Amino acid sequence: MEKWAKLQALQTATANRHILDLFDEARAAEFSVSADGMLFDYSKTNIDSATRAALVELAEASGVAEKRAAMFAGDRINLTEGRAVLHVALRAGEDASIIVNGKYVLPEVSRIRSACYDFATAVRDGSFVGQGGKITDVVNIGIGGSDLGPAMATLALSPYHDGPRVHFVSNVDGAHIHDTLKGLNPETTLIIVASKTFTTIETMTNADTAKRWMAAKVANPATQFAAVSTASEKTLAYGIDPTRVFGFEDWVGGRYSVWGPIGLSLMIAIGPAAFDQFLAGARAMDQHFLTAPFTQNMPVMLALVGLWHNQLCGHATRAVLPYDQRLARLPAYLQQLEMESNGKRVALDGSDLATHSGPVVWGEPGTNGQHAFYQLIHQGTRVIPCEFLVARRGHEADLAHQHLLLVANCLAQAEALLRGRSLDEARAIQAQKGLMGDALELQARHRVFPGNRPSTVLAYDRLTPFVLGQILALYEHRVFVEGAILGLNSYDQWGVELGKELAVALQPVLEGTAGTKGKDGSTAALVAFLRV
């Protein structure tokens, strides 16, 4: 707690300081980190050299380096489930050596990836056909990490699509699968069911609906199904040929699984070569995370900035604002990655956490957000740290002028959050318009921007498979560092269990085959209203 106390004292002493007062000619360079063509600028925060040194001391005292080594070595750092945490193995290089339970794991990782690539290639080139010929559409049915990762990445890499159209269904709300399947041809559609246990109720309910839909035109629908699952007996009973079933180990958590078979839909969309580049980008960030000193380590500094804003400054949320339309699903992806990982209340030993855990993560792409919630960010009473992402170049060369406008908007928003507009400045502007007296004062007060609001910028050349891999691995390691410093388990998710259990119990109540005895009055009343 000594390190935390030191940081809290620094925060208290500098709370009223304006970030602009920190700037000199060197600050932008000294308070930024580069890695393989990517730039992370955190100079528009109230972190100075003394604060950064204290944050690094906290990371060192928390054993981040030792815990990092344990994760990459395959140790069972997920203590509540007794598992290793090895999503990094899914993108490790051929020269890596990782052992779990006395077994080298990379040969099996390579074998499964090759099998996925072979199937993806067969779908893409027409070797694998539906009853109506070459596959034109792929529908990935999953939920949580089995949906958010591949759905986000498939949208992000749409300029690289040269395979069948790919669609995603996750919500058990029948509207989702109905609207997705409407207009597709069952005879040329491939269904991928992504569920490790092949029992996830939302996923299997949607899979059954898709199977019935396909059965209307396809004699044996299961011939156009593939599965990403470890439950081989259940997939076989469902009728899916074992050659179209791709499993992964229990040391890959759902929200960290897009790098392996869960990414099958992405592999089909962009092809194995582009997927290899996606893995290469993540691998480059892994190596940077492993080797760079903390002050020049992008995941470490991203995490330390986050801890400074949340745990020390008390800012309960952070906005992720990609000025890159194809990253529209990144905030939702990061919501799960960060909030499911670090949304805990107890430490590894089961004791209550001494500080708050992870923040609320939310966001939307710019520039749409500027005409929606940025009003609150700029002039609201609460400070919301903002994390901007922006590319130097877009993919649309003929629309370069629009990309220039996009970048200008991104940088302008970060600058506006930093600088703000004082009351005197607002008065001068209104005076130039001819206002005087009380009218001038009223209008000026409405146009004051407090400023001094922190933001960071993650900049990169263009959103390629390599760059997307870098970005996702960066945020994965940020979660690790924050969890390691907070002393919690970032890799279980018991918080999702209770609601699932109660939902199973409520189903017969809603069907009318069970009563509401034991339910609270509100739930019983809502059942009475909603029961059909």
pLDDT digits (tens, 9 = 90+) for 135-154: 999 999 999 999 999 999 99
Count CA atoms within 13 Å of residue 132 on its CB side. 14
pLDDT one-digit tens code per residue, 380-411:
999 999 999 999 999 999 999 999 999 999 99
The pLDDT, as a whole number, for residue 401 is 97
β-bridge pairing 386-391 and 455-460: parallel
- With cut-offs at 50, 70 and 90, classify the pLDDT of residue 516: very high
Query: How many residues would you count in the chain?
Result: 532
Residues 504 and 465 in one domain: no
Residues 138 and 198 in one domain: yes
Residues 402 and 475 in one domain: yes
Tell me the two tokens of residue 392. Answer: 């130097």
The pLDDT, as a whole number, for residue 532 is 87
Does residue 280 or residue 103 have the better pLDDT? Answer: 280
Question: Which residue spans within 225-310 are E strands per DSSP?
Answer: 225-228, 245-246
Residue 39's H or E segment, with its range, is: strand 38-41
Domain enclosing residue 402, as ranges: 2-61+292-419+453-492
Q: How far apart are CA 123 and CA 164, in angstroms?
A: 8
| Bridge partner residues of 138 (DSSP) | 166, 190
Q: Are 509 and 527 in contact (CB under 8 A)?
A: yes
Residue 375, domain CATH: 3.40.50.10490
Does residue 125 or residue 103 have the better pLDDT? Answer: 125
Model confidence at 114: pLDDT above 90: yes
Across residues 511-528, what is the average pLDDT? 94
Residues 151 and 175 in one domain: yes
Tell me the two tokens of residue 455. Answer: 């933001």
Among 247, 205, 256, CA closest to 228:
247
Q: Give 251's contacts (C-beta < 8 A, 6+ positions apart).
A: 74, 78, 83, 84, 85, 86, 89, 100, 105
In a domain, 287, yes or no: no
Residues 117 and 236 in one domain: yes
Q: Are 194 and 257 in contact (CB under 8 A)?
A: no
Residues 367 and 311 in one domain: yes
In a domain, 412, yes or no: yes
- Among 28-37, 174-183, 352-361, 491-500, where is mean pLDDT lowest? 491-500
β-bridge pairing 245-246 and 225-228: parallel
Model confidence at 214: pLDDT above 90: yes
pLDDT over 70, % of the chain: 100
β-bridge pairing 317-323 and 360-362: parallel
Does residue 237 or residue 532 have the better pLDDT? Answer: 237
Start-to-end C-alpha separation, the chain: 55
In a domain, 208, yes or no: yes
Residues 48 and 15 in one domain: yes
Torsion of CA 27, 452, 41, 409, to 10 degrees: -120
Across residues 205-229, what is the average pLDDT? 97
Residues 266 and 406 in one domain: no
pTM comes to 0.96
Q: How far apart are CA 111 and CA 184, in angstroms?
A: 33
In a domain, 336, yes or no: yes
- With cut-offs at 50, 70 and 90, classify the pLDDT of residue 176: very high
Residues 410 and 470 in one domain: yes
Q: What is the mean pLDDT of the chain?
A: 96
Of 276, 311, 344, the last residue of a domain is: 276
The one-character DSSP state at 308 is: I
Across residues 488-507, what is the average pLDDT? 92
pLDDT one-digit tens code per residue, 257-269:
999 999 999 999 9
In a domain, 114, yes or no: yes
Question: Which residues carry out catalysis?
Answer: 340, 371, 500
Q: How far apart are CA 347 and CA 481, in angstroms?
A: 14
Model confidence at 102: pLDDT above 90: no
Total tally of structural domains belonging to the chain? 3
Q: Give 235's contacts (C-beta < 8 A, 6+ positions apart).
A: 193, 198, 227, 229, 242, 245
pLDDT over 90, % of the chain: 96
- With cut-offs at 50, 70 and 90, classify the pLDDT of residue 255: very high
pLDDT one-digit tens code per residue, 50-77:
999 999 999 999 999 999 999 999 999 9
In a domain, 334, yes or no: yes
Residues 205 and 297 in one domain: no
In a domain, 87, yes or no: no
Residue 511, domain CATH: 1.10.1390
Across residues 451-462, what is the average pLDDT? 98
pLDDT one-digit tens code per residue, 316-366:
999 999 999 999 999 999 999 999 999 999 999 999 999 999 999 999 999
Residues 347 and 415 in one domain: yes
The pLDDT, as a whole number, for residue 500 is 87
Tell me the two tokens of residue 503. Answer: 């939902």
Among 322, 470, 298, CA closest to 407:
322
The pLDDT, as a whole number, for residue 95 is 82
User: Sign of the CA dihedral 466, 76, 479, 42?
Assistant: negative
Residues 408 and 394 in one domain: yes
The pLDDT, as a whole number, for residue 71 is 96
- With cut-offs at 50, 70 and 90, classify the pLDDT of residue 413: very high
In a domain, 106, yes or no: yes
